[in-house]
Amino acid sequence: MKSVLTHLLTFLSLLGFASCEPAAQTGPAPAEVKLKSDFNDKEGVPEGYKMITLGGGCYWCVEAVFQQLEGVHSVVAGFTGGHVADPTYEEVCGKKTGHIEVVRVVYNPEVLSLGDALAWFWAAHDPTTLNRQGNDVGPQYASAIFYHEDENKAVVEASLQNAQKEFDKPIVTQVRKAEKFYLAPEEHQDYYFQNKSQGYCQYVIKPKLEKLKLKK
């Protein structure tokens, strides 16, 4: 009986991989990862660099992908698109704030074009599932692109139309003008590289990075 109970407890402990929930950090961030506090007014963004804000399910997954792309200056996790000011993570998880989990990416357009960045975005998640990525379900996990410059709207829409050719089902990704961005808690930043041994990282994020042939 003790053996059965032990196995059961071990199994239950692994269920953490099924949902986007924080765990204690266990290691340092890689040297190449640069984190900023906020980008609401482009403060701290190098001259000539651009921003794009992306929602593709749990922000830990999208963050771990874009942190590794050449030409990306910084990636931060946060919330946007809702009607509640200064939301907490718990409030967003309550599904009544209207906010979406996103990453705000600052990139050098001379190294990484917006079109190429969006190509990675389409590959990094399933844009045909409404408010869901795997076991992460709710409006906070919506697929969304928030563009920051009006001239980039056409690039985003063209990218979406081109990506649709790769999917049998209709893409449900929202395309919206960037709104006020709220930074996620510090323990949610650079989550994968700080918590590689955590269940969600091992069973959800790591396979995604392997599929995309990125560092894991």
The question of whether 61 is a catalytic residue gets the answer no
With contact defined as beta carbons under 8 Å apart, do 173 and 100 qualify?
no
Distance CA 192, CA 186 (A): 13
User: Token digits for 111?
Assistant: 């190294």
Nearest 5 degrees, angle CA 148-CA 149-CA 152?
Answer: 105
CB 103 within 8 A of CB 41: no
Which residue of the set 58, 61, 93, 201 is catalytic? 58
Count other C-beta atoms under 10 Å from residue 175's C-beta. Answer: 14
> What is the CB-side half-sphere exposure of residue 69 using CA atoms within 13 A?
27
CA angle 63, 92, 40 (to 5 degrees): 60
Residues designated catalytic? 58
